[in-house]
Amino acid sequence: MPRTPPDATIRTQLALPLRFADGYSTAARVFTFDGLVDGREHLAFGLGDRAGEFTPGDRGSRLPLVRLHSECVTGDVFGSQRCDCGPQMREAVERIAAAGGFLLYLRQEGRGIGLYAKLDAYGLQDAGLDTYEANLALGHAEDERDYTVAAQMAHALGSSRLALLSNNPDKAEQLGGLGVVVSEQVPTGLHLNPANARYLAAKARRGAHTLDVPLVG
Ligand SMILES: [Zn+2]
């Protein structure tokens, strides 16, 4: 039985035009919330036909395309090549703007272990562990992300039924247990470079991500 999380409410919403380093730009509406269970400052970005003012209770005319993006300061902001987060986010914004929907920006750095611990894990990866083994060696779970706040935001945005832009089966499964109906799962592209090949291969192998990654090592 799904356990519906406590209600969150929209705290503020306002227009936030976006322009990325490659010149791509789009209209967006950024939302903040009251009542998110972990008390962190998570954001939602309405894109495409969801970039206009949102009236609580409005479910929209089309199924929203939604991406749960976990914060990655190194990848999202600084263009780190050790992961695929920056290109994933950039791709997601454009695809969601075309389809209409929301990007949920979740403040759970390093699969939930935090920024310093993520960098510690990089050090262990340089010594030969993969991304999951490194988290375990630091005393963390392989993946500590909890998507309860994402479900709360989806419900608050009238998107309790959605199409999920993701290769990660854990996201759809967790959302389904939180009263969100994932009607469709839409795969993202593969953003491969020499520095992230091992990381992506580990995600495909150990995280059961649906990624068609060439075998490495
Ligand atoms: Zn990253």
CB neighbour list of residue 164: distance below 8 Å, 6 or more residues apart: 66, 67, 68, 171, 172, 175, 182, 184, 185, 186
- Stretch 38-57: mean pLDDT, rounded? 95
Helix (H) or strand (E) holding 41: none
pLDDT band, residue 1 (cuts 50/70/90): low
Mean pLDDT for 9-31 is 97
Question: Which member of 7, 67, 145, 170 is catalytic?
Answer: 145
**b/e per residue 95-131 (b: at least 16 CB within 10 A):** bbbebbbbbbbbebbbbbbeeebbebbbebbeeebbb
Name the catalytic one among 76, 84, 130, 143. Answer: 143
**What's the mean per-residue pLDDT of the chain?**
90
Give residue-wise pLDDT tens across range 101-149: 999 999 998 888 899 999 999 999 999 998 888 989 999 888 888 899 9
The CA 145 to ligand 1 mean position distance, Å, reads 14
For the chain, the residue count is: 217
From the DSSP assignment, how many helices (H) and strands (E) are in the chain?
6, 9
Find all residues with CB under 8 Å of 53, minimum gap 6, and list them: 13, 29
* Strand bridging mode 101-106 / 65-70: parallel
β-pair type (181-186, 18-19): unpaired
**Averaged pLDDT for residues 83-108:** 96
Q: What is the DSSP letter of 204?
A: H
> Distance from the CA of 84 to the center of ligand 1, in angstroms?
6
Residue 163: strand, helix, or coil: strand
111 C-alpha to ligand 1 centroid (Å):
9
Q: How confident is the model at residue 35, as a pLDDT?
A: 98
Rounded distance from Cα 167 to ligand 1 centre (Å): 15
Q: Active site includes 120?
A: no
| The pLDDT of residue 207 | 67
Q: Is 205 a catalytic residue?
A: no
Q: Is 102 or 1 the better-scoring residue by pLDDT? A: 102
Instruction: Say what the pLDDT of residue 196 is.
Output: 81
For the chain, first and last CA: distance in Å?
A: 42
Rounded to the nearest whole angstrom, what is the distance from the C-alpha of residue 27 to the centroid of ligand 1? Answer: 24
| Rounded distance from Cα 87 to ligand 1 centre (Å) | 10
Tell the residue number behind the tokens 């090592």, with chain if given. 217
Cα 78 to averaged position of ligand 1 atoms, centre (Å):
10
| 216 pLDDT higher than 50 | no
Question: Which residues, by Cβ under 5 Å, contact ligand 1, an ion?
Answer: 72, 75, 83, 85
Q: Name which residue leads in pLDDT, 190 or 165.
A: 165
Rounded Cα distance, 71 and 23, in Å:
22
Give the mean pLDDT of 17-24: 95
Beta strand spans in the chain (E): 9-15, 18-19, 25-26, 28-34, 43-47, 65-70, 101-106, 161-165, 181-186
Q: What are the backbone angles phi and psi of residue 84, rounded to the nearest 5°?
A: -115, 20
Q: What predicted TM-score, i.e. pTM, was given to this entire model?
A: 0.89
